[in-house]
Amino acid sequence: MTVVVNPRSGRGRATRLLPRVQAALQEGLPDSELRIMRTRSFDDARQLALAAVAQAAPAEAGRRPDVLVMMGGDGMASLGLNACAGSHIPLAIIPTGTGDDFARGVGIPRKPAEAVQAIIAGHTKMIDLALVTGDLTDGHKQRYVGSVVSTGYDAKVNYRVNHAKVRSYAWSLLAEMAQLRPLNYRLTIDGRPLHTRAVIAAVGNAGYVGGGIHLCPAADVTDGLLDIMMIGPVSRWTLIRLFPLLFRPGFVKHPAITQLQAHEVIVDGDGLVPMADGEELGATPLRISCVPSALTIVVGND
Contact 278, 99 (CB under 8 A): yes
Contact 194, 141 (CB under 8 A): no
Contact 183, 152 (CB under 8 A): yes
Give me the chain's average pLDDT, please: 91
Give yes or no for residue 63 having a pLDDT over 90: no
User: What residues contact 23, with CB distance under 8 A and at least 6 apart?
Assistant: none
Q: ∠ CA(279), CA(140), CA(147), 5° rounding?
A: 35
CA–CA dist 274, 145 (Å, integer): 12
SS3 per-residue string spanning 131-187: EEECCECCCCCEEEECCEEECCHHHHHHHHHHHCCCCCHHHHHHHHHHCCCCEEEEE
Q: Mean pLDDT over residues 112-120, rounded?
A: 96
Check: pTM over 0.75? Answer yes or no: yes
Burial of 220 (0-12, 13-18, 19+ CB in 10 A): middle
Give yes or no for residue 302 having a pLDDT over 70: no
Q: Mean pLDDT over residues 263-276, rounded?
A: 95
Residue type, 65: P
Reference 106, options 117, 116, 119, 93; nearest CA is 93
Q: Mean pLDDT over residues 116-130, rounded?
A: 96
Q: Mean pLDDT over residues 7-19, rounded?
A: 90
Residue 113 pLDDT grade (very low, low, confident, very high; cuts 50, 70, 90): very high
What domains does the chain contain, in order, with CATH numbers?
2-122 (3.40.50.10330), 132-293 (2.60.200.40)
Q: Mean pLDDT over residues 267-284, rounded?
A: 91
pLDDT tens-digit map of 219-251: 999 999 999 999 999 999 999 898 888 877 777
Reference 104, options 147, 67, 135; nearest CA is 147
**Comparison of pLDDT for 290 and 173, the residue scoring more:** 290
DSSP assigned state of 244? G
- Using DSSP, state whether 5 is helix, strand or coil: strand
Reference 302, options 155, 11, 107, 37; nearest CA is 107
Q: Mean pLDDT over residues 71-82, rounded?
A: 95
Contact 252, 229 (CB under 8 A): no
Q: Mean pLDDT over residues 70-97, rounded?
A: 95
Contact 94, 116 (CB under 8 A): yes
pLDDT of residue 114: 96
Residue 211 pLDDT grade (very low, low, confident, very high; cuts 50, 70, 90): confident
Q: Mean pLDDT over residues 107-130, rounded?
A: 95
- Using DSSP, state whether 219 is helix, strand or coil: coil
Give yes or no for residue 198 having a pLDDT over 60: yes
pLDDT tens-digit map of 139-196: 889 999 999 999 999 899 888 888 877 667 778 888 889 999 999 999 999 999 999 9
pLDDT of residue 88: 87
pLDDT of residue 144: 97
pLDDT of residue 166: 67
Provide the b/e sequence for 37-50 (b: ≥16 CB within 10 Å): bbbeeeeebbebbe
**Comparison of pLDDT for 133 and 140, the residue scoring more:** 133
Give the percent of the chain with pLDDT over 90.
71
Residue 11 pLDDT grade (very low, low, confident, very high; cuts 50, 70, 90): confident
Give yes or no for residue 61 having a pLDDT over 70: no
User: What residues contact 144, with CB distance under 8 A and at least 6 apart?
Assistant: 78, 81, 82, 85, 129, 130, 131, 132, 291, 294, 295
Residue type, 7: P
pLDDT of residue 185: 98
How far does CA 116 lie from the centroid of its chain?
20
